Structure 1
Amino acid sequence: SFEMIIGILGIMKAGGAYVPLDPNYPPERLDYMISDSAISLLLTQQSLVQFLPENQAEILCLDTDWSRIANYSQENLTSPVKPENLAYVIYTSGSTGKPKGVMNIHRGICNTLKYNIDNYNLNSEERILQITPFSFDVSVWEVFSSLTSGANLVVAKPDGYKDIDYLIDLIVQEQVTYFTCVPSILRVFLQHPKSKDCHCLKRVIAGGEALSYELNQRFFQQLNCELYNAYGPTEAAVDATVWCCQPNSQLIPIGRPIANAQVYILDSYLQPVPIGVAGELHIGGMGLARGYLNQPELTAEKFIPHPFAQGKLYKTGDLARYLPEGNIEYLGRIDNQVKLRGLRIELGEIQTVL
């Protein structure tokens, strides 16, 4: 919603960090997230207040509480934000049964946005579709890539990605040029006969799941635009690598590191594996998150000292290998994590509930 974007901009300009809460989450999960993140101010809409668990936060409804908001100063704030300050906390599934809050800083997301503007040639003539739930970090890509480049932002209705008829009509009606989605949604999109009417699309960015050879081929058979395969965990500020897909490619790699990102494929002794040999993918560079909120042990386990330089590396738990030409191929997981519509799910969290 527009209120969500207004709220996020206000929070960040005031120097705060935002924590997106999905009203569709179970009450127990929402209660844990609100408590764990020690939220002091909760911005919402009046219709959603009933779904909130009891909490100590001050609640402000951005659609009905404008009389309260009007009492505050309208002076333009001088932003105190620095690159190392916290920008947002997004919760992902945790193997212990509790979600974990990933703390992303301004430096990381600004680096991703600068890369997006340069790599995708974003400008004021483009129209970017915002359709990803705000509890998923691709929403950061959609909103801020638009606002920082001067592009137009087309905001879909809540859960609009579930309605392919609506999605296609919106793309055509608003002449959307950029569209991001997970491959499972892209597959349903391409199966719809009206998808061929989306001549306005210039680039589609797929990420959050493995992109198959079959889906890559079908895309270029139906649409006359570019397709990108983007890879990156929440812990690396949305994207760590990107590959521009080709119509006749037999392999669908995840590409090469974006600007100021480092990618290493290492063995269990943290030594680089030879080209073509599988190892665990590690990420370093400007995009790294600060760690996990209130979980110092897990942070130390996953964000390890950089073995070859200063700083940290994030252990992704993803298996990958370097291809001879320098691209990286994603091979799967080394643990029990799975993905559903791009959302990370730890099977341990399900086992704990059961």
Structure 2
Amino acid sequence: WKEVLGIDSVGIQDNFFELGGHSLKAMYLVAKIQKEMQVTVTLKDIFTHPTIEQLVNRVQKLDKSKHSSIPQAKIKELYPVSSAQKRLYVLDQLEEASISYNMPSVLTVKGEFDRVVFEKAINALISRHESLRTSFEMVEEKPAQRIHSKVEFEVRYDKKEKHELETLASSFIQPFDLSQAPLLRVNLIEITQDEHLLFLDMHHIISDGMSMNILIQDFIQLYEGNKLADLRIQYKDVVEWQQGQQATEERQKQEQYWLAQFEGDIPVLELPTDYARPAMQSFEGETIEFYWNKNLTQKINKLAQETNTTLYMVLLAAYMTLLSKYTGQEDIIVGSPVAGRKHADVESIMGMFANTLPMRNRPEGSKSFFTFLEEVKETTLQGMENESYPLEELIDKLNLTRDTSRNPLFSVLFNVLNMEREEIILEDLSFQPYSIENR
């Protein structure tokens, strides 16, 4: 618990969620318990037994189940891609010169910065993670990935004034050629002698949100001269293992669950818009930021505690209620990203693990919000238990009518990001997220 929650002490009667736990951390806890204790614990078990004392009683009643490590794939020239990678590759070929699936991130770096150590750390990262040495190509009309033993990589250096930074993002965020590794760019911009901006950009086909965290944490460790534990497996190994799981009973169970969720007519969200929907969807948009006061945040957290739910569940229920008020519809599907890292073996690996769950709920006017919240809790837990089934395969199975003006299955997304480490402070340096405009 201390490792998952990132705290120093835990009592056996402390509540996991009151200590800062949430759905994602509960998933990590489940994976670690399954690996260490060889029992199949579910996400629902964590919610119904949220203290160590209660969870021990639950685990003692469970039968032992063998936890299988993910094996290493045989060494080959080319490897298969995951379902998510296949979709991203096809979209990239259709939308030439697109930056829709770039993943830019910017950090402010303050203090004494050593360029030699910096480049050494970046090159060590590329050597450590095969995803940073991966390119993609078509073979017999199927996309495949190639792992390169070495890649040429250069850090770009610039010197800019602060007033020039606003236009910098657009010049840095450029399309990637998926046939050329690495699908990574690094630009270090000197503002003053002791202040720099570190621009990082990767293509989504080799990365996701958790991968970006891994990249930054590994970079910090390497920059400080620390040795990282070797990675036993890499992303390609996981993909090959996943493909071997397709005929398993668990996989069939997950497929049946999602197909049952979308039996019959599938609703299309009809939000009132200012303009006519274009025939071909674009990915251009705007970011709007707003802030809640401390009092409202405390009330929401209190509601979550009183209903044995999480911040995510409360906000998702509120979001769906709002969508229902705007549209008059009482059957709504919202896409919601999940980490896709249920297996404990993958927690330190970079790659495109993320999946999107189509969460379907019915915010009917006859229900109280508390009744609806309980339903959202149930569908959230069930959805996360079945999160390993790829969205791309579900869409194929449903045989949806193609509509180029919309995303298939859902038109809106909802996500809660727990930004716990806003600033990283080292002996001579500090790293802090820097906000950029990305349309």
TM-score, length-scaled by structure 2: 0.27
The structure whose RCO (Cα within 8 Å, separation 6+) is larger is 2
Choose between structure 1 and 2: higher helix proportion.
Answer: 2
Rg (Cα) greater in structure: 2
TM-score, normalised on structure 1?
0.31
- Give the strand-richer structure, 1 or 2: 1
